[in-house]
Structure 1
Amino acid sequence: MARTLLALLVPEADPVVASFRDQHDPSARRGLGAHITLIYPFVESELLSAGVLARLRDTIAEVPAPMFRLHEVRTFPAVVWLAPEPTRSIMQLASALEHAFPEQPIGGGAFPEFVPHLTVARRVPQEKEAIANEVRARIADYGPIYCWCDSVALLVNEDRRWHRLAEFPLLH
């Protein structure tokens, strides 16, 4: 069985964060570009039936495609991340997915609430502030990152690499 992930892919952020992610986020080294996780883990790959895929497609098709910008650097313990603003459309999407798939809680049920974020660096307790300051400087030079996600990606982790299984269009 292979784990799956539902995410908003954010390639617009790669010019700013890819070098940090390559160095400080194992998922980047396994082929997963800049993204905002919606549900992880999602359904095990062997359980992705036509019914599950149809429910996923129908749910996502009714939610407006999120437009947001990334410019604020924040931290969790041992994590540096970018905050999307506004979050309303991402929260609406997360809520719709949670309603359609209550057995697959947003954030895997590990956190009390869903916080939309784009991870820049993980497992960096000592370097967290230095990395956050470097990212802030890079964003100051680059400017805000403007994003529009027109689909949700379903990805699978097989052979220690992330692969895109499908994309589901959001409402335009």
Structure 2
Amino acid sequence: MDDDDPRGLPAGQSGLIVRVPEAESVVGAWRDRLDPSARAGVPAHVTVLFPFLDAGRIDQEVCAALGEVLGEHRSFQARFDRCGRFPGVLYLAPDLGDHFQRLTEAIARLWPECPPFGGQFAEVVPHLTVAQGQDEGVMEMVEMDLRTALPVVAQVSSVDLFVHDGRRWRSRAAFPLA
């Protein structure tokens, strides 16, 4: 959900995210301007698995399996104290990226037909996207501003299922961690 422009996504597309409300005061205004997913209803977050199953396939059995696998993972505190970059993307990097990766790996093992980011990347790097598709000057300005407001410390206690309705992303369920 991070690095995809939500326009043109089919209705029923889904993804699993960890909301990071503690970051909204730091990144919210930037995301509203520079991250299309924010304008489409996605809060500040770290993606756990995108794309996930089509919404039509997400039934009580799938939700029960998600609840079970995620309930095996303990809640944790993540600290976002630096910025990172991918080509065309500025993000906040969590210090406990391996915790996020374990969540991704656990879900991807149950649904191998849903590799992270469609199998597009050899390595999945947990991150909170702030801006994408901007020129270098804009990215540098945003990064300098973010550095003055870091760190962001977040309590990670659940994973949310979001579904795209053809226009906007909407939360469908939340699955608590232990």
* Structure-1-length-normalised TM-score: 0.91
Aligned to 1:137: 145
Q: Check whether the contact 1:17–1:135 (CA below 8 A) recurs between aligned residues.
A: no
CA RMSD of aligned residues (A): 1.5
Equivalent residue in structure 2 for 1:37, among 31, 47, 66: 47
CA-CA distance at 1:45 after TM superposition = 0.6
Q: Which runs of 4+ in 1 moved over 6 A?
A: none
Aligned to 2:35: 25
Equivalent residue in structure 2 for 1:84, among 87, 91, 94: 94
Note closer, same or farther for the CA distance 1:65–1:136 as it changes in structure 2 (3 Å cut).
farther
Aligned to 2:161: 154
Give the counterpart letter for 1:131 in structure 2.
Answer: M
Give the counterpart letter for 2:95 in structure 1.
Answer: E
CA distance in 2 between partners of 1:66 and 1:93 (Å): 12
CA-CA distance at 1:96 after TM superposition = 1.0
Note closer, same or farther for the CA distance 1:59–1:10 as it changes in structure 2 (3 Å cut).
same
Q: Check whether the contact 1:30–1:161 (CA below 8 A) recurs between aligned residues.
A: yes
Give the counterpart letter for 2:157 in structure 1.
Answer: D
CA-CA distance at 1:108 after TM superposition = 2.1
CA distance in 2 between partners of 1:108 and 1:34 (Å): 21
Q: Check whether the contact 2:48–2:101 (CA below 8 A) recurs between aligned residues.
A: no
Alignment of 1:56-71 (within 5 A): 56-71=66-81
CA distance in 2 between partners of 1:138 and 1:26 (Å): 19
* Structure-2-length-normalised TM-score: 0.88
Q: Check whether the contact 2:83–2:91 (CA below 8 A) recurs between aligned residues.
A: yes
Q: Check whether the contact 1:65–1:89 (CA below 8 A) recurs between aligned residues.
A: no
Give the counterpart letter for 1:169 in structure 2.
Answer: P
Identity rate, percent: 36
CA-CA distance at 1:16 after TM superposition = 0.7
SS in 1 for 2:14: strand
CA distance in 1 between partners of 2:92 and 2:55 (Å): 29
Unaligned runs of 5+ in 1: none
SS in 2 for 1:119: strand
Unaligned runs of 5+ in 2: 1-10
Q: Check whether the contact 1:74–1:132 (CA below 8 A) recurs between aligned residues.
A: no
CA distance in 2 between partners of 1:88 and 1:12 (Å): 20
